Structure formats: structure tokens, C-alpha cells
Amino acid sequence: MTTRLLFSTFLLVSLAFAFGSSGAQAQTKGDVIGDLIKDVAVPRKKPLRVVGGAVAAKKLFGAKKDAAKLKPHSYGFYTKGCLAGAEQLEPTGPAWQAMRLSRNRNWGHPKMVALVRRLAAEAKEHDGWNGLLVGDLSQPRGGPMLSGHRSHQIGLDADVWLNPMPNRELTYNEREKISAKSMVLDRKRLNRKRWTEAHAKVLYRAANYNEVERIFVHPPIKKEMCEWATRKGFKNRGWLGKIRAYYGHHYHFHIRIRCPKGTVGCKDQKLAPRQDDCKANLAYWMGSKPWKKPGKPKKKPKKKYKRFVMQLKHLPKACRTVLNAD
Ligand SMILES: [Zn+2]
């Protein structure tokens, strides 16, 4: 039984890694997106200015300052796709402040942006927050980024910092410089001097939104949420399944929503378990073995592999239209 449990945990972890680092290659096989150009609302008038060449897609998408003026549409998968008709989250709202404005990553699918606004407002009203500090959503047209995330490509991911928001408006420079604060002491232990009831409440709230599919948190945070639910005596623990342990998320949590209904060519991730998944999801992370770096080969390959560069040709076809639209 234990072996089986361990094995399934290992499988889950490998899957998580596949979606993370090597998601690009993993996606190619199962691509069922097909010719999506016809689904873009505005027909193409001019010939394409950019064709899939050797240019890294992150350079093309990273250079775009504005959204594609098309109907909102997420194309592809979280780690391989793009976004038409993005909406910009206001840098300062009634209950949030977007951070690192120079990155220009406060764009998302209107549904994602609406969810961030809602979560911020409700966290302020009910959960003991002044408001939320919001990290990266997506680039104006989604796509791969010059630095940082592998996901966040289709406007359906958002990072929210775990630091409390100060009760004043931060300057542009402060938003560039203030660091997010880690909520853990090490890979297994939470920093209880920083962690508060307000943190648990906002995660609980976000996980209970219907459209939210996953929330990534550092493993000790998932552990704490499991224990918190027990202390609270919650009978329904299904929402805990959406809270996924994944390293790198100790100073922010990452909200991922499902593809909006009827979005042709938007590929959902396999549903997260709808049980608490407190044991299996934590077994690997809380075990004694060091965590493997995702995508790292077990043995050094004799030949040096060329690093995979995601190009426009690897993205759904519709992403050319998104890139070239006004
Ligand atoms: Zn993220």
C-alpha cells in the first residue's frame, strides 16, 4: 500500500514537473488545437509580418506593450500559448496594488482580472487584509516571458504576494524594490511569526471560487492549510485538493483558473483532486529526500543538449494572429 502511495505520489510529482519545466515538449505530442486562426474574431487583412523562425517567442511577446484588440480568448495551455483581448488590471484598485509595474505583466483574461479584483475586495472586507499585493499575471498578449515563469502564458494565472499590503499607496519605485517576504523557515516549516489567520482565510476563499482550478503554495503552506481545516472542523475538505504543494511559492501564491467555458483551443489542465489530498500531495515534499529540480536529467548527458527555445511555430497557430493584431 505504502509503495503504491509513494509511486502515485511520484507520478503526480513527475506530472507537475512535466507541466512546469518540460511542459513545452510534453505538450507538442498531445496538441489537438488545430487551425485556430479562423476562430479569431478579426480576419487577417495584411500578410503576417512575423513567421515562425529562429526568434524566440518570448522576445516577440515580451516586446508587445498592449493587448491584441481582439475578442478575449486564451489559446493553448498555461505553459504554451497566448492571449487575445487581454484586460489590464489597474495598478491601484480599491483593494489591491500591482507590483513590479515595469514588467508590464498586469494583464489577463477579463475573467482572471475580475477574479483578482473580487478576491482583493473580499479579502479586505472579510479576511483581515488592507488589500492584496498582486504580482505577475500575464503579458499584454500572454505568451512566453523573457524572465521568470514558464506558465502565465494564456492570461489565466495570477500571483498574489503573501506580504500584507501597507495601508497606503506605494510609489512606483517602492513597487519595484520592495521584496516579497517568505512565509517559511525552510522547506518543511512555516514561519509562524509571519503566517497569520488572514493568510489561511484568503487561501480558503480563493480555493472556494468555482473557476479556480489550482492554487500553488509552498509545501509547508499546504500542510498548514490541512491542519487549519482540521482545527476549524470543516466537514467539506474538497477545496484543499485545489491547493497544490509546489516549491517556489513561499512568498506568493499562484492562482490558476480553468479555461472559460466554450473557449475553443484553450486546453485545461487535468482536474485537481476534489478530496483534500493532504497525504499524497505532501508525501514527497515532506519526505526525507531532497527535492529534485524539475527537468534536471538524472545523469549528465554525454552530448550537450541544445536548450529548447520556444518559437512562434511551437505555439498554437492563432498566436501569430494575436501577435500581429493591432
Ligand atoms: Zn505564478
Residue 48 alpha carbon to ligand 1 centre in Å: 31
Could you read off the pLDDT tens digit of each residue along the chain, which spans 326 residues?
444 444 444 444 433 333 333 333 333 322 222 222 222 223 344 444 444 446 899 999 999 999 999 999 999 999 999 999 999 999 999 999 999 999 999 999 999 999 999 999 999 999 999 999 999 999 999 999 998 889 999 999 999 999 999 999 999 999 999 999 999 999 899 999 999 999 999 999 999 999 999 999 999 999 999 999 999 999 999 999 999 999 899 999 999 999 999 999 999 999 999 899 999 889 888 888 888 766 555 565 555 556 788 999 999 999 999 999 99
Residue 164 alpha carbon to ligand 1 centre in Å: 18
Over the range 14-27, which residues count as b (16 or more CB within 10 Å of their CB) and which as e? eebbbbbbebbebb
Instruction: Collapse the DSSP code of 7 into the 3-class scheme (helix H, G, I; strand E, B; otherwise coil) and give the result.
Output: helix
Residue 79 alpha carbon to ligand 1 centre in Å: 11
> Pick from 203, 218, 275, 215: which is nearest to 243 by CA?
215
Cell 505504502 locates to 2
pLDDT number for residue 264: 96
Question: pTM for this structure?
Answer: 0.80
Residue 92 alpha carbon to ligand 1 centre in Å: 20
Report which secondary-structure segment, H or E, holds 24. Answer: helix 23-29
Cell 480576419 locates to 43
Spatial contact of 78 and 151, defined as CB atoms under 8 Å apart:
yes
Instruction: Collapse the DSSP code of 200 into the 3-class scheme (helix H, G, I; strand E, B; otherwise coil) and give the result.
Output: helix
Residue 160 alpha carbon to ligand 1 centre in Å: 8
Residue 153 alpha carbon to ligand 1 centre in Å: 10
Residue 123 alpha carbon to ligand 1 centre in Å: 19
Residue 242 alpha carbon to ligand 1 centre in Å: 15
What are the E-state strand segments in the chain?
Answer: 73-77, 80-84, 87-88, 92-93, 96-98, 107-108, 132-134, 157-161, 212-217, 243-245, 252-257
pLDDT number for residue 196: 97
- For the chain, the domains span 2-324
Which overall architecture, per CATH, does domain 2-324 show?
2-Layer Sandwich (3.30)
Query: Assign residue 325 a region: left if phi > 0, alpha if psi is -120 to 50, beta otherwise?
Result: beta
What type of residue sits at position 70?
Answer: L
Residue 94 alpha carbon to ligand 1 centre in Å: 23
pLDDT number for residue 289: 82
